[in-house]
Amino acid sequence: LITFQQDNAWGYVTLWAVVLTVIALHEHAHGLTCVHFGGEVREMGMLFLFFQPCLYCNVSDAWTFADRGKRLWVTAAGGYFEFWVGSVCTYIWWLSAEGTFVNTVAYQAMTVCGLSSVMFNFNPLIKLDGYYILCDLLEVNNLKQSSMAYLKANVKHYVFGEPIQEYDYSPKEKRAYLIYAMCSLVYITGLLFGIFVLVAGLAVPAFGLVGFILAGFIGYKLFFRYIKGAVTYVLRA
């Protein structure tokens, strides 16, 4: 991604600008689609998710739409628009001269849009657009919380011998919850570990001891809460 005149600061600047621009376009697509169907956008802003800047657009009005098709369009609008941005940038990258500013920015935008859509936006294993699309299609609220709670109950029962809670789920729903929870757990763990390895691999060689401390802090923020909870439970069992 960072290939403009080799691996230099300018490449990082252009990549960062591309990421922010794509995110802004994504959120505006959600908002404009919601307004198009008669909803209101009461808030837009920015937060950090996995140490990356993320703009957000409050389109909760979409959940008041009686037509599920309209709700799905609002949810999918951001990723759908990213798909078209990525497609246009693919043609620009293909037609422009290699190594030029336009070629590099188009390549970065094409790659960012592709990775964003596949790994994040339309991935139902994390609570972004794909997750809410799946919940709406299945007509299940709080899919992640319910599936993780059911998985924890089974682990406590079969590993630690605790009485299992009674859940009013059909056998099909139980299998679906277990499969979703395990897939989500594996994906999120791999994603967080990948982020840690990436940051450590960049920070330690570049900044030495400071980079090592930074990597340790990030590892602490990413994993300590989960490790502490697991260890505390095992010791109490």
Residue 154 lies in a domain: yes
Q: Has residue 1 got a pLDDT over 60?
A: no
Give residue 5's pLDDT.
Answer: 44
For residues 167 and 62, membership in a common domain is answered with no
Model pLDDT for residues 89-120, shown as the tens digit of each residue = 999 999 999 988 899 999 999 999 988 877 78
Residue pair 132/45 in contact (Cβ under 8 Å)? The answer is no
For residues 120 and 154, membership in a common domain is answered with no
**Looking at residue 117, what DSSP letter applies?**
I
Domain end: 81, 107, 137, which one? 137
For residues 114 and 157, membership in a common domain is answered with no
Q: Has residue 121 got a pLDDT over 80?
A: yes
List all residues 6 or more positions away from 62 whose beta carbon is below 8 Å from its beta carbon.
34, 37, 39, 70, 71, 74, 75
Give residue 3's pLDDT.
Answer: 45
Confidence of residue 237 (pLDDT cuts 50, 70, 90): low
CA distance 116 to 233: 36
Domain end: 80, 113, 137, which one? 137
For residues 167 and 124, membership in a common domain is answered with no
For residues 30 and 131, membership in a common domain is answered with yes
Residue pair 59/73 in contact (Cβ under 8 Å)? The answer is no
Q: Has residue 6 got a pLDDT over 60?
A: no
For residues 13 and 113, membership in a common domain is answered with yes
Look up the pTM and report it: 0.79
For residues 110 and 152, membership in a common domain is answered with no
For residues 120 and 183, membership in a common domain is answered with no
**Looking at residue 77, what DSSP letter applies?**
H
Residue 4 lies in a domain: no
For residues 67 and 30, membership in a common domain is answered with yes
Instruction: Identify which of 200, 197, 195 has the alpha carbon closest to the alpha carbon of residue 214.
Output: 200
- Please give the full DSSP string across 66-85, using - where no structure is assigned: S-HHHHHHHHHHHHHHHHHH
The neighbour count for residue 53, using CB atoms within 10 Å, is 12
Residue 2 lies in a domain: no
Model pLDDT for residues 36-73, shown as the tens digit of each residue = 999 999 898 887 765 666 788 999 999 899 999 999 99
Give residue 207's pLDDT.
Answer: 78
For residues 228 and 124, membership in a common domain is answered with no
User: 184 or 214: which carries more pLDDT confidence?
Assistant: 184
Residue 1 lies in a domain: no
What is the chain's alpha carbon radius of gyration, rounded to the nearest angstrom? 21
For residues 92 and 23, membership in a common domain is answered with yes
Tell me which of 6-15, 146-155, 222-231 is least confident. Answer: 6-15
> Following CA atoms 76, 77, 79, 80 in sequence, which dihedral angle do they give, to the nearest 10 degrees?
100
Q: Has residue 226 got a pLDDT over 80?
A: no
- The three-class DSSP label of residue 105 is helix
Give residue 41's pLDDT.
Answer: 92
> Following CA atoms 197, 198, 204, 210 in sequence, which dihedral angle do they give, to the nearest 10 degrees?
-100
Residue 124 lies in a domain: yes
Q: What is the mean pLDDT of the chain?
A: 85
For residues 20 and 131, membership in a common domain is answered with yes
Residue pair 157/164 in contact (Cβ under 8 Å)? The answer is yes
Residue 46 lies in a domain: yes
Domain end: 137, 153, 182, which one? 137
The parent domain of residue 122 ranges over 9-137
CA 219 to chain centre: 19
Question: Considering its fold, how many domains does the chain have in total?
Answer: 2
